[in-house]
Structure 1
Amino acid sequence: MTEQPRAIDEMNPDGVPRKVLFVAGAGRSGTSTLAGIVSRLGMHVPLPEVPPDDSNPRGFSEPQWVVDVHDEWLAESLVQVSDSRPEAWFETGRISSREPARVRVSEWLEPHFAEHPELVVKDPRLSWFLGLWRVAAIRTGATPVFATMLRAPAEVVGSKQKYYANKLGSAHLAASWVNMLLHTERATRQAEGDGGRVFVRYEDLLTDWVRTTTALGHALDLQTIIHTRSDQIREVHRFIDPNLRRVTSTLDDLALPRRLHDLTGQTWEELNRLADEGGDTTERQATFDQLREEYVDLYEEAAAISRSSAEHARHQARRRALAEAAAQGEPARSLADRVPHDVRAAIPPSVRRGVRKALGRERDDQP
């Protein structure tokens, strides 16, 4: 049987401009669902994809190369995927501004346009490097467009605790959600060369994916979605399961500290307004600027108060490392000294200096 022509070829015989849809948002917020929908409607997820697992049996619809390079950069930056520190954005921002990193990403993107002119790139780590991806896409002659998934923070926290066995607690996960979403909002604001952004409620996607995805396609001028075929639509109907929303809880269930509870609730309320038609205004962006400032103040206050806990954790880690070395009959060494030399050599000097400073082991540069 002859393969059916793609709808985009049928409706647009002269071809369409290159575009990259970047699906951003916190992990467990429905990014895989949206990427899975648009890929089944004809957009191309660069291969190979991350394989499904028990936490997401229907698949992640994310390129393995993207996940691997993000993991590499996060490790270099000493940033966690769900990092609640406001300063973490400065650490990943240093990598995003590097010319070799931009070249590396644009060279990876380029050959995938031979498969399809409209690509979808999704990874929960993506928000940390959105500026880099924007530049890389433009360099390939593509227009970057952005879709940020919105899911109630209590559900995101509950889902991470259920499927990722997260031990850091509800307060940390809620704070990291606030940190991630406030920065993602800022990073996806209109810039030169962009083709727009949308905010998509996970609930809307599960309730009426056709209406929600069609609106997204028209808002971002994605020809693949606008001109999709009926057989592709039927495939998405088989893919979507209302029971995908397997974790339901409210903010009150998390028992957060009062100020964090209030800030999380305000952030969620404002994000919901962005998903409404006409809700993405300059006035609302100013509100997000204020929320970010409030979050930075809250985090800095909490960090100042909890400094003793951080010091205690550092001493505990050192004691464990020494105990492990003693049990194995090794000479007493610090944890940093136990890292193989070739691994340490691969870490940039500035990062090594930062680690030594944090451990109170700064070297004396005097002869």
Structure 2
Amino acid sequence: MSEQTGPPDPATYPRTVLLVAGAGRSGTSTLAVLLQILGMHVPQPEVAADASNPKGFGEPRWAVDHHDRLLARAGVAVGDARPQAWFDTGQLAASDEERATVASWLEGHLADHPELVVKDPRLSWFLGLWRVAAERAQARPVVATMLRPPAEVAGSRAKYYNNKLGAAHLVASWVNMLLHTELATRDTDRAFVRYADLLDDWVRTTQHVGRTLDLRHVLDARSEQVRDGHRFIDPSLRRITVTLDELDLPARLREITEESWRELDALVEPAGDNAERRATLDQLLAAYVDLYAESEAISRSTVVAATARAGGGVPGGTVDRGGSPSLGETSLVDRVPHGLRAAIPPALRRGLRKALGKQR
């Protein structure tokens, strides 16, 4: 960070949209607010701070509301553990109308602020939508993905979101979110950020993000902004320190979770984002798809019973707004557009077909 006699001239900065991705309660707010302190712009109005995040969320209200509408249309929950949910949201993300809507919103903010921060726990579901929209708005899309141990994320969500679905669901939703987010950002300039690193040495960590993604406000930050950052950062922000040993997880889910965390965490290291690691992450994603399909196949009676108790009768091929799995006859593979299927790595496609009983 450099000393300057005056504020940097935004006119000299290229248009950039930084998408802060990752699971809720993984430090995405901390990073977004820090970058805002250093001069990047969070489109206004913002989501107001509350007891779960007293220092602020760094979230544009419009983006949150728009994502909520899209998730409702797709029948997907914010913390959905279903691999199918990515295909349901992917179809909306491919909509030219939605891309034009987001591009228009971005253009309105980029006109006065060349470096934007867009953060929302729902954002990962629509990374493709934002990437295309940013390019349409003549901006460079880049992604910073926050990494926090899955047990800590699950513990924080259980505490602050009053989640009643249990540890296994919370951990599975973390695996689903992070493995798919990693896959979806491979063709985009990206950085991975450990939440612990951000709290331990936020200056070094944000400088790394700034250099990796060429964020001019971060690299040109002034001393008074750095002082504000020091006042903002508080190591006690890491209020949850649960470990996987404290959670009652099915053995296979725990194995996949541990391996996924190990590989994702290594992406932060120099040269850690390599072809071999990406292949391993593809295998882990295929393994999770298999595990979820197996679990879904033997739990259908539970879904039918719960639906009947709720007065909805036996489901027949739909996905309810709470994210319950479909029991209809149309397979997931048959409902995925060809373009989306072609973008899935072969190892994952094989895993999906095996899980859904497809031979080809």
| 2:27 is the alignment partner of 1:30 | yes
Partner in structure 1 of residue 193 of structure 2: 200
**CA distance in 2: counterparts of 1:335 and 1:304, whole angstroms:** 16
Gap change, CA 1:303 and 1:45, over 3 Å in 2 = same
Deviations 1:256-283 (A, max 9, x none): 0000001000000001100111100111
Partner in structure 1 of residue 116 of structure 2: 119
How many angstroms does 1:113 deviate by?
A: 1.2
Equivalent residue runs for 1:42-121 within 5 Å: 42-121=39-118
1:22 touches 1:145 (CA, 8 Å); kept in 2?
yes
| 2:176 is the alignment partner of 1:183 | no
One-letter identity of the residue aligned with 1:34 = L
1:102 touches 1:132 (CA, 8 Å); kept in 2?
yes
Partner in structure 2 of residue 297 of structure 1: 290
Of 311, 316, 334, 2:304 maps to 311
**CA distance in 1: counterparts of 2:176 and 2:197, whole angstroms:** 23
Partner in structure 1 of residue 341 of structure 2: none
One-letter identity of the residue aligned with 1:8 = P
Of 139, 148, 167, 2:164 maps to 167
Gap change, CA 1:197 and 1:359, over 3 Å in 2 = closer
2:319 touches 2:326 (CA, 8 Å); kept in 1?
no
Equivalent residue runs for 1:228-267 within 5 Å: 228-267=221-260
Deviations 1:166-193 (A, max 9, x none): 0000000000000000000001112xxx
1:76 touches 1:351 (CA, 8 Å); kept in 2?
no
Gap change, CA 1:358 and 1:292, over 3 Å in 2 = closer
Moved over 4 A (4+): 357-360
Greater Rg, structure 1 or structure 2? 1
2:307 touches 2:314 (CA, 8 Å); kept in 1?
no
**CA distance in 1: counterparts of 2:17 and 2:106, whole angstroms:** 9
1:6 touches 1:42 (CA, 8 Å); kept in 2?
no
How many angstroms does 1:114 deviate by?
A: 2.5
TM-score (norm: length of structure 2): 0.85
Partner in structure 1 of residue 148 of structure 2: 151
Identity of aligned residues (%): 60
**CA distance in 1: counterparts of 2:158 and 2:276, whole angstroms:** 35
Partner in structure 2 of residue 8 of structure 1: 8
How many angstroms does 1:255 deviate by?
A: 1.3
Could you say what secondary structure the match of 1:8 adopts? coil
Structure 2 portions without partners, runs of 5+:
329-360
**CA distance in 2: counterparts of 1:198 and 1:73, whole angstroms:** 26
Equivalent residue runs for 1:354-365 within 5 Å: none
Gap change, CA 1:6 and 1:96, over 3 Å in 2 = farther
How many angstroms does 1:307 deviate by?
A: 1.0
One-letter identity of the residue aligned with 2:61 = Q
Partner in structure 1 of residue 280 of structure 2: 287
1:7 touches 1:224 (CA, 8 Å); kept in 2?
no
Partner in structure 1 of residue 355 of structure 2: none
**CA distance in 2: counterparts of 1:5 and 1:107, whole angstroms:** 35
One-letter identity of the residue aligned with 1:235 = D
How many angstroms does 1:88 deviate by?
A: 0.4
**CA distance in 1: counterparts of 2:222 and 2:237, whole angstroms:** 24
Partner in structure 1 of residue 356 of structure 2: none
How many angstroms does 1:98 deviate by?
A: 0.4
- CA-based RMSD of the aligned residues comes to 2.1
How many angstroms does 1:8 deviate by?
A: 2.5
